[in-house]
Amino acid sequence: MIFTDIVPELKSTMPGLRGRLLPNQSLAELTWFRVGGPAQVLFMPEDEADLAYLLEHLPAEIPVTVVGLGSNLIVRDGGVPGVVIRLGRGFNEVTVESGNRIRAGTAVPDVKVSRAAQEAALAGLAFFRGIPGAVGGALRMNGGAYGRETKDALIEARGVDRRGRVRVFSNGDMHYTYRHCGAPEEVIFTQALFQGSPGDPAAIAAEMDKITESREATQPIKSRTGGSTFKNPQGHKAWQLIDAAGCRGLKVGDAQVSEMHCNFLINLGGAAAADIEMLGETVRQRVKESSGVELEWEIKRIGAMKPPQ
């Protein structure tokens, strides 16, 4: 799939842009599944002001999509039209502030937040060790693990809207529910402020080690996977419903339901995005037939299906 190259046009209308604009840039290597087509344009802003400049001047008809570390993401084989924004070096600082607080850019891996908290003797943020993504994804999905969620630690989030305006959202403004954020979809988060509490560094380190050991023992983290595939329905565990429907080890092409943890899909090496998504839909169908429960995707899916050859 090759998109029309609109980079020259964008550069001419936005001469003040400092970040990199790349046409028809492959996204497969940016995702944990290692699948998917290209971005029509991949933009990596230098900092928040650069991001705001692009959003303010970008024509309204050009769609905008944000990707982070690609851990909870399927990029479809047809690629992603418009501008795909990936936050990098200008958004990866972590600082400890007064009042037992930590401020983190949204490109910071969640594990770095937990490490910074541990080193600063701040309890309450160790759960971030169990989330395989970056702060931006945790904000947008109310990411959680091992009994805590982002909403339990967030003071406020900062972001830029589609008109290029910087906005700050309190915890309440985020309208969090399970694996859901009610802040406007158009907002691209740039940083977050988290609340910790005084703790013992050794005890916090032990808690993080326990989380690491648990993940390694129960999840296929060394495989090409996208993390938890489906949300846990009310009163159920997704993996148990999937197992009961006989889907453990199920394959579509080179995509497989993990034998280790049924709520993880893995790319055995040669899967296309369509194989992974079809496998997920097959699992949903079988669980619905088996239990009457309709599983909801937790993994985000973006882009266009590849047209038939």
Alpha helices in the chain (DSSP H): 7-13, 48-57, 110-119, 135-141, 201-218, 238-244, 273-291
Q: How far apart are CA 181 and CA 174, in angstroms?
A: 6
Q: How far apart are CA 93 and CA 167, in angstroms?
A: 19
Q: Which of 86, 228, 258, 286 is catalytic?
A: 228
Q: Which of 86, 179, 224, 284 is catalytic?
A: 179
Active site residue 129: no
Active site residue 228: yes
Nearest to 223 by CA among 34, 96, 39: 34
Q: How far apart are CA 197 and CA 37, in angstroms?
A: 44
Q: How far is CA 302 from the centre of its chain?
A: 12
Q: Which residue has the tokens 């290209």?
A: 38
Torsions phi, psi of 267, nearest 5? -95, 115
Residue 298 · residue 96 · CB < 8 Å: no
Residue 103 · residue 111 · CB < 8 Å: no
Active site residue 223: no
CA R_g for the chain: 20
Q: Which residue has the tokens 């590849």?
A: 306
Say which residues have a Cβ less than 8 Å from residue 285's Cβ, sequence separation at least 6.
none
Q: How far apart are CA 216 and CA 205, in angstroms?
A: 17
Q: Which of 48, 149, 207, 298 is catalytic?
A: 298
DSSP code of residue 162: T
Strand 264-267's sheet: what is its strand order? 224-228, 264-267, 255-257, 251-252
Residue 265 · residue 226 · CB < 8 Å: yes
Catalogue the active-site residues: 179, 228, 298
